[in-house]
């Protein structure tokens, strides 16, 4: 059954926007229909804070497969875009995380859906809620906007590129 799939994208090395746009392009080429994108935001690093700022955004796709299989495709795309494996919370050319897949609640060694730390990350919640302000956590029915409110206004993500412009960039890349 097809469900909405929300993916988070981040990059803080070299041409950050190009890495993210290329990842979107490869996902579309893989056959994932892109429904919506958030704006792209400049955000402070999370975890290891001794690194450059990130660009982060969220994409809403349609997906009918098993997310346990999708994670392998995502890792392949990250590698194809140029991700180098370093250490946890290290600088990244590209990072793609599965945030939500419909009402799926899953925890395996490889994957947790909803993303295990989604409710503590403004750089995920702000773009996610830009796409759908009414989204609820399938684990307990709490609105994600309540989690964002709990986190407060400090270190709020800063707009880098509006959603409409970013979508135009992706669409141009796909047509090449």
Q: Which residues are catalytic?
A: 83, 92, 95, 97
Of 116, 112, 111, 122, which Cα lies nearest the Cα of 151? 122
Q: Is 49 exposed, middle or buried (0-12, 13-18, 19+ CB in 10 A)?
A: exposed
Q: Which residues, including other chains, have CB under 8 Å from residue 159's CB and lie 6 or more apart?
A: 39, 40, 41, 42
Segment (H or E) for 149 = helix 144-151
Residues 6+ apart with CB under 8 A from 117: none
């Amino acid at each position: 059954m097809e469900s909405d799939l929300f993916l988070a994208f981040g990059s803080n090395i070299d041409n950050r926007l190009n890495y993210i746009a290329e990842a979107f392009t490869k996902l579309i080429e893989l056959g994932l229909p892109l429904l919506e994108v958030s704006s792209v935001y400049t955000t402070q690093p999370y975890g290891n804070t001794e690194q450059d700022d990130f660009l982060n955004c969220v994409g809403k796709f349609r997906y009918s497969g098993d997310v346990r299989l999708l994670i392998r495709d995502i890792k392949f795309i990250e590698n194809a875009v140029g991700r180098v494996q370093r250490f946890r919370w290290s600088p990244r050319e590209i990072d793609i995380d599965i945030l939500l897949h419909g009402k799926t609640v899953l925890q395996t060694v490889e994957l947790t859906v909803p993303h295990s730390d989604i409710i503590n990350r403004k750089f995920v919640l702000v773009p996610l809620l830009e796409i759908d302000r009414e989204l609820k956590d399938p684990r307990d029915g709490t609105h994600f906007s309540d989690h964002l409110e709990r986190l407060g206004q400090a270190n709020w993500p800063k707009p880098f590129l509006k959603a409409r412009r970013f979508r135009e960039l992706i669409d141009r890349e796909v047509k090449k």
